[in-house]
Amino acid sequence: MIKEARLIENFLDMVKISSPSKNERAMGDYLLKVLKELGLEVSEDNAGEINGGNCGNIIGVLRAPGKKKLLFSAHMDTVVPCEKIVPVIENGVIKSDGTSVLGGDDKGGIAAIIEMLRVIKENNLDHPEIVVVFSMGEEIGLLGSKAFAIESYGIDYGFILDSSGKPGKIITKAPSAARGKITIIGKPAHAGISPESGINALTVAAHAITKIKLGRVDVETTSNIGIVNGGQATNIVMPSVELDYEARSLSNEKLDNLLAETFKIFEDVCKEFGAKLENTVQVEYPGFALNDDEKIVEIVKNACERAEIKSETASSGGGSDTNIYNSKGVPSVNLAVGMTKVHTLEEHIEIKDLVNLSKILVEIIKG
């Protein structure tokens, strides 16, 4: 029932549409048109307005009164560079020309959802009530899903298409994440004439950094300083330094303990040197954990079995809209799309994976 040529054509059309975070308007207009042509009830919410973007979440509903309500979702935005994506097909693999990302993250997921809807329509398949959400701003903090009023739709289960790996991989666990800036404020002084009268913020930061836990803390937990900004000139004792920090863990308790320990170390070292500390780090999104025997996991496993595709459950070190929907009370899993080397110029996806993902979705709505 899956029409491979149509699926690939749609995918190629979409990746050519530039849609960086908060600038998804062209992609949103494309999807509004497609969903209307498929006969869904279509709307756009105010997620763009809330988050300072030019497009909200695109929502489509395929009614089936009295039946289960299933959510299928993927995000519209891509990381940069994505201004002019030129897709290339070689030996069954779709990639970019090397000057940009491909945008399979997450237009591969969108393409599979659209193909599922087309198969339903042209084959007059019996189906549950389907709510489709194409979210904005996922790559910069899950902004669209946070703003989406999922509670008003009465959804029973959510299937989010936004994981790397082969179709059949079911993400049932993902971490909570905290993110923000740690700023150390020292005291400027002339670096050549009176350095001893200043407080070098970088020196303070360096002492603290040698004491905190960074990298792989344990099997469930990570910690990282990704960006460092500070200083004015080489002849000035650095007056302040700003550290962009994040931490993640599959255990909320471990994350809380790590954050408390990290902040205590920075506070103590700042006090020792006479520096001041400003901290904006906070939990950005909650984690989730589903058991392998839960109904939603069984639904996907059974669909994979009918599609003759191997299934497996796994945990992820990254966040997705799945985290938000689970936190809002909708049991949800993140399904692998087949995208590989995402967020790089080497990103690619195999055509057979797009086909297999579409097959799995059709089997999910069948059963």
Q: What is the DSSP string of 280-335?
A: --EEEE--EE--TTSHHHHHHHHHHHHTT---EEEE-SS--HHHHHHHTT--EEEE
Over residues 43-57, mean pLDDT: 98
**Is residue 108 scored above 90 in pLDDT?**
yes
Measured from the Cβ of residue 280, the count of other Cβ atoms closer than 10 Å reads 11
Number of H helices, E strands in the chain: 10, 18
Catalytic-labelled residue, pool 24, 45, 106, 138: 138
Residues whose CB falls within 8 Å of the CB of residue 106, separated by 6 or more in sequence, listed in order: 74, 75, 76, 78, 138, 161, 162, 337, 339
- 367 falls in which pLDDT band (50, 70, 90)? confident
Please name the amino acid found at residue 292: D
Catalytic-labelled residue, pool 24, 45, 77, 162: 77
Q: What is d(CA 223, CA 233) in angstroms, rounded to the nearest whole number? A: 30
Q: What is d(CA 89, CA 354) in angstroms, rounded to the nearest whole number? A: 13
Q: How far apart are the first and last CA of the chain?
A: 16
Give the 3-state DSSP-derived string for 40-98, with helices as H, strands as E and coil as C: CEEEECCHHHHHCCCCCCEEEEECCCCCCEEEEEEECCECCCCCCCCEEEECCEEEECC
Q: What is d(CA 18, CA 360) in angstroms, rounded to the nearest whole number? A: 28
Percent of the chain with pLDDT over 70: 100
The model's pLDDT over 279-307, given as tens digits with 9 standing for 90+, comes to: 999 999 999 999 999 999 999 999 999 99
- 203 falls in which pLDDT band (50, 70, 90)? very high
**pLDDT attached to residue 194:** 97
Q: Which residue has the tokens 């070292």?
A: 269
**pLDDT attached to residue 301:** 98
| Residue 237, both tokens | 């004792």
Ordered by where they begin, the domains of the chain are 4-174+288-366 (3.40.630.10), 176-285 (3.30.70.360)
Residues whose CB falls within 8 Å of the CB of residue 121, separated by 6 or more in sequence, listed in order: 38, 39
**Is residue 86 scored above 90 in pLDDT?**
yes
Q: Catalytic: 41?
A: no
Handedness of CA 26, 30, 36, 42 (dihedral sign): negative
Asked whether the bond before 286 is cis by omega within 30 degrees of 0, the reply is no
**Is residue 112 scored above 90 in pLDDT?**
yes
Q: Catalytic: 138?
A: yes
**pLDDT attached to residue 150:** 97
Ramachandran bin of 95, using left for φ above 0, alpha for ψ from -120 to 50, beta for the remaining angles: beta
Query: Exposed, middle or buried, 37 (CB in 10 Å: 0-12/13-18/19+)?
Result: exposed
